[in-house]
Amino acid sequence: MVRAQRLKPVHQAAEDTERRSAARVVSAQSRLNEAERRCQDLEQYLAEYQNTFRAKASVGLDARALRAYQIFIAKLTEAIATQRGLIAQLLLEVEKEQQQWREAATRTKAVGKVIEQANAESNKLEERKMQRETDEHAQRQRGIQ
């Protein structure tokens, strides 16, 4: 039991690290989901704006209005490209955080197994000690009779 007791703080630290790592995975995934939602919103807005542009262009636009639409469409396209770049970065971050969480979970599990083995070893030694004492007591009882 002594070895298992000494390992409990190590196991607790490993569990704490695993919990913090899991929280970072959730946070990174949340940021990714938000970035993807923003990108979809921008893409939807671009499609709507382009449809409006086509409709107005079909009935005629002056050069200034045409140029304003083109500039705004270019800015929306650039914002979408920037958002896609952010999504790519966030995907890498999520994968990195997931890998760190898996490694932390593996460490926690390994320390847990070491503690289980230490407990089993301690129990086995205790059982042997009890058996030896029982055997010695039985031998003494036979010697008295």
Q: What pLDDT was estimated at residue 136?
A: 81
Q: What is the distance between the alpha carbons of residues 50 and 39, in angstroms, rounded to a whole number?
A: 16
Report, in angstroms and rounded to the nearest whole number, the Rg of the chain calculated over CA atoms: 34
The two three-digit tokens of residue 12, written as one number: 């607790």
Match 């890998």 to its residue by tokens.
99
1 band by pLDDT with thresholds 50, 70 and 90: low
Tens digit of each residue's pLDDT (9 = 90 or more) over 70-118: 999 999 999 999 999 999 999 999 999 999 999 999 999 999 999 888 8
User: What domains appear along the chain, each with residue ranges and CATH number?
Assistant: 7-117 (1.10.287.1700)
The residue that leads in pLDDT, 39 or 135, is: 39
Q: What pLDDT was estimated at residue 3?
A: 77
Cα separations in angstroms, 26 against 12, 17, 74, 75, 88: 21, 14, 34, 32, 17
DSSP string, 46-95: HHHHHHHHHHHHHH---HHHHHHHHHHHHHHHHHHHHHHHHHHHHHHHHH
Q: What pLDDT was estimated at residue 26?
A: 97
Q: What is the distance between the alpha carbons of residues 21 and 38, in angstroms, rounded to a whole number?
A: 26
Share of the chain above pLDDT 70, in %: 98
